[in-house]
């Protein structure tokens, strides 16, 4: 039987304020699963037009799937968030791109027709569960020289990227990092961040009870002088510092993904349309270059060029990997299309959750910029991968005009 692939839309996304990892962080005594449960509940609260029993899947990511980030998190969190027991769920691990993969997984199911509405997101409590906790890498990775040992240390791979591209100097990275801090501070002052945050009640043995209403990692007022002399922990006299990298962070994200038909039926808002996505593998030793081939592949799939992209949300795991992307595509370090609200160097990067933060920020920028038709969310991924998702702006005057001519039909698929 013929099957028509359905258009997939991003309805809404939220996140917790991101907290500093460690004993003094605001989420030190808050469970990881409670962070993402708060996000799911907030999505349902914001959208009473969405009956809970219409949510047909919950896909949640975590890089370290143990403790309060384990036990098939998507299913457990959906039950505790108040979704009916008829809603299935599952967990995902693609390291930093966990939430991004959760979105593309459920989007593929929606496009195929097996699901109409889903919730996707991720959580990482790096204070409770440091990246790599309890892992046991196969020794053949090193004994058979399949990869260099530095591939398992993300900061070391960033130093390798500096080696590969000498033009990506520490001075450029520091300048980029200072700009990220400044842009996030400006976005907060203009009220562009808070609308997408979920307030989280916290409890701390020393600090008492509180409410998390704002990101904890940002360092407003950061200057080049402040960070120029910071230590280079991954290499003596290296380039990667705490100032030009994303810090260890706790936080969660979630979003609603739906078919365009289901969104129209229920009156759900359409904030973005999924145009294309791609995941690729690269040399693990320079994993930061991953977004480059991922973006090239996604652009080819969408029939676009880099010049068609009007807004970029690039995950700032390290300044050097963002600069490698910008140099490859001939984009200036301070191009106003890139990370207008700042990025992970300022907000923090709770690994598996960050992909949806990128999407939520792009969706808000689409609303503010109806002249922009296409935007990109992209990120590097540990162990040598990259991910990229291209979105279309529903506020653009040409939105939807070409959908009828680009509908694909596959033969022989049965529901």
Give residue-wise pLDDT tens across range 215-225. Answer: 999 999 999 99
CA distances from 271 to 162, 241, 346, 367 (A): 37, 36, 25, 8
Q: Quick one: pLDDT at residue 145?
A: 81
Catalytic residue set: 96, 349, 380
What is the rounded average pLDDT of the residues 27-51?
A: 97
Q: Share the mean pLDDT of the chain.
A: 94
Specify the pLDDT at position 372: 98
pLDDT in tens, 168-191: 999 999 999 999 999 999 999 999
Quick one: average pLDDT of 243-262? 98
Query: Are 170 and 178 a contacting pair, CB within 8 Å?
Result: no
Confidence of residue 84 (pLDDT cuts 50, 70, 90): very high
pLDDT at residue 411 above 90?
no
What pLDDT shows up at residue 410? 35
- Among the residue ranges 131-135, 228-232, 258-262, 396-400, the one predicted with the least confidence is 131-135
Bridge partners (DSSP) listed for residue 203: 209
Q: Which residue has the higher pLDDT, 414 or 42?
A: 42
- pLDDT of 342 over the 50 cut: yes
Assigned CATH topology for domain 3-129+145-393? Peroxisomal Thiolase; Chain A, domain 1 (3.40.47)
SS (HEC) of the chain: CCEECCCEEEEEEEECCCEECCCCCCCCCCCHHHHHHHHHHHHHHHCCCCCHHHCCCEEEECCCCCHHHCCCHHHHHHHHCCCCCCCCEEEECCHHHHHHHHHHHHHHHHHHCCCCEEEEEEEEECCCCCCCCCCCCCCHHHHCCCCCHHHHCHHHHHHHHHHHCCCCCHHHHHHHHHHHHHHHHHHHHCCCCHHHECCEEEEECCCEEEEECCCCCCCCCCCHHHHHCCCCCCCCCCCCCHHHECCCEEEEEEEEEEEHHHHHHHCCCCCEEEEEEEEEECCHHHHHHCHHHHHHHHHHHHCCCHHHEEEEEECCCEHHHHHHHHHHCCCCCCCCCECCCCCHHHHCCCHHHHHHHHHHHHHHHHHHCCCCCEEEEEEEECCCEEEEEEEECCCCCCCCCCCHHHCCEECCCCC
């Amino acid at each position: 039987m013929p099957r028509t692939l359905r258009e997939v839309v991003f309805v809404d996304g939220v996140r917790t304020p991101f907290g500093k990892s460690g004993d003094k962080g605001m989420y030190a005594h808050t469970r990881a699963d409670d962070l993402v449960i708060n996000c799911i509940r907030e999505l349902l609260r914001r959208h009473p037009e969405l009956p809970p029993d219409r949510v047909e899947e919950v896909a949640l990511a975590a890089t370290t799937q143990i403790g309060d980030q384990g036990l098939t998190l998507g299913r457990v969190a959906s039950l505790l968030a108040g979704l009916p027991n008829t809603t299935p769920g599952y967990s995902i691990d693609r390291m930093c791109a966990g939430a991004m993969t959760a979105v593309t997984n459920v989007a593929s199911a929606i496009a195929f027709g097996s699901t109409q509405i889903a919730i996707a997101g991720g959580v990482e409590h790096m204070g409770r569960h440091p990246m790599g906790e309890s892992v046991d890498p196969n020794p053949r990775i090193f004994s058979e020289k399949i990869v260099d040992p530095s591939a398992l240390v993300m900061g070391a791979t960033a130093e390798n990227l500096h080696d590969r591209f000498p033009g990506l100097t520490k001075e450029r990275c520091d300048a980029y990092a200072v700009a990220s801090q400044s842009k996030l501070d400006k976005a907060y002052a203009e009220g562009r961040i808070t609308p997408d945050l979920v307030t989280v009640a916290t409890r701390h043995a020393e600090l008492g009870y509180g409410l998390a209403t704002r990101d904890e990692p940002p360092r407003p007022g950061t200057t080049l002088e402040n960070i120029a002399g910071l230590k280079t922990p991954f290499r003596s006299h290296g380039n990667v510092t705490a100032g030009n990298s994303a810090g260890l962070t706790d936080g969660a994200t979630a979003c609603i993904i739906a078919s365009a038909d289901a969104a129209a039926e229920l009156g759900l808002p359409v904030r973005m349309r999924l145009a294309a996505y791609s995941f690729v593998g690269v040399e693990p030793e320079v994993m930061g270059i991953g977004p480059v081939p991922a973006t090239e592949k996604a652009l080819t799939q969408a029939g676009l060029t880099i010049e068609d992209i009007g807004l970029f949300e690039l995950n700032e795991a390290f300044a050097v990997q963002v600069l490698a992307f910008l140099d490859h595509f001939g984009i200036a370090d301070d191009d106003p299309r890139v990370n207008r609200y700042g990025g992970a160097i300022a907000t923090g990067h709770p690994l598996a959750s960050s992909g949806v933060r990128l999407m939520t920020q792009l969706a808000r920028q689409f609303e503010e910029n109806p002249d922009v038709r296409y935007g990109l969310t992209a990120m590097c991924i540990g162990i040598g991968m990259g991910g990229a998702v291209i979105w279309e702006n529903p506020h653009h005057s040409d939105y939807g005009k070409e959908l009828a001519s680009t509908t694909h039909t596959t033969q022989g698929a049965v529901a």
